[in-house]
């Protein structure tokens, strides 16, 4: 299998963490691409986005939640809690909603960075303000969130979003006003899978 990714992309990082958490490294070749300039990526993913995972039968999976759930199934993981009569059903929806919140923060952070790369006369202050407001509101919500151990895809998605903000938007200084989130993230960031996938 080939994972089209980039070492800075928070969505790619989710898949790369799942691969490492479930010891799937020898099954997946990671191919670093620039999504803005890779014809090969556009051939496998018409959206031109990373991550994309090509399977050995020639098919392709796109969108990090889909790719991560496939990898979780392949590795027999528990990162996506199931819905059985034995298990608390809400566990699955909590994990998926936390993933959606983490991905939404990453979406807003990536959009803010892309906006800043446009020619100054085309940049929209209103758009940047909106992206930053989404990030701030969502981080405030996470300050009151309950994070689980063992972690799920929700915890992984939030950690990838925070790692991206640290890398690209350190001026947000999100730790200053969110001590609970800081304490959880700083411990989570010590995991081997997080250390092996630091944005570079």
Ligand X SMILES: N[C@@H](CCC(=O)N[C@@H](CS)C(=O)NCC(=O)O)C(=O)O
Q: Which residues form the interface with ligand X (CB under 6 A)? A: 9-11, 35, 48-51, 63-64, 103, 110
Q: How far apart are CA 144 and CA 142, in angstroms?
A: 5
Q: What length is written for the chain?
A: 200
**Nearer to ligand X (CB atom), residue 115 or residue 143:** 115
Residue 28: both structure tokens together: 């997946």
Q: How far apart are CA 28 and CA 3, in angstroms?
A: 7
Minimum gap (Å) between residue 62 Cβ and ligand X: 7
Beta strands in 55-132 (DSSP E): 60-62
**Nearer to ligand X (CB atom), residue 107 or residue 143:** 107
Minimum gap (Å) between residue 13 Cβ and ligand X: 9
**Nearer to ligand X (CB atom), residue 11 or residue 174:** 11
Minimum gap (Å) between residue 4 Cβ and ligand X: 9
Minimum gap (Å) between residue 67 Cβ and ligand X: 7
Q: Other C-beta atoms within 10 Å of 42: how many?
A: 15
**Nearer to ligand X (CB atom), residue 11 or residue 188:** 11
The distance between the two most distant Cα atoms of the chain, rounded to a whole number of Å, is 58
Beta strands in 2-91 (DSSP E): 2-5, 29-32, 52-54, 60-62
Residues 2, 195, 56: CA angle, nearest 5 degrees: 10
**Nearer to ligand X (CB atom), residue 160 or residue 178:** 160
Minimum gap (Å) between residue 159 Cβ and ligand X: 15
């Amino acid at each position: 299998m080939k994972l089209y990714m980039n070492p800075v992309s928070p969505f790619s990082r989710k898949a790369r963490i799942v691969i490492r958490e479930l010891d799937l490294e020898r099954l997946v070749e990671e191919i670093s691409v620039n999504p803005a300039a890779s014809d090969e990526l556009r051939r496998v993913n018409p959206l031109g986005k990373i991550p994309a995972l090509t399977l050995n039968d020639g098919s392709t999976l796109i969108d990090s939640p889909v790719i991560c759930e496939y990898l979780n199934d392949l590795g027999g993981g528990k990162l996506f809690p199931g819905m059985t009569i034995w298990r608390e059903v809400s566990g699955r929806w909590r994990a998926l909603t936390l993933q959606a919140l983490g991905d939404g923060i990453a979406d807003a952070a990536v959009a803010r960075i892309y906006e800043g790369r446009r020619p100054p006369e085309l940049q929209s202050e209103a758009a940047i303000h909106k992206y930053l407001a989404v990030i701030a509101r969502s981080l405030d919500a996470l300050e009151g969130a309950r994070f689980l151990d063992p972690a799920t895809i929700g915890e992984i998605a939030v950690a990838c979003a925070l790692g991206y903000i640290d890398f690209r938007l350190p001026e947000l200084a999100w730790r200053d006003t969110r001590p609970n989130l800081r304490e959880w993230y700083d411990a989570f960031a010590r995991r081997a899978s997080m250390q092996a996938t630091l944005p570079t």
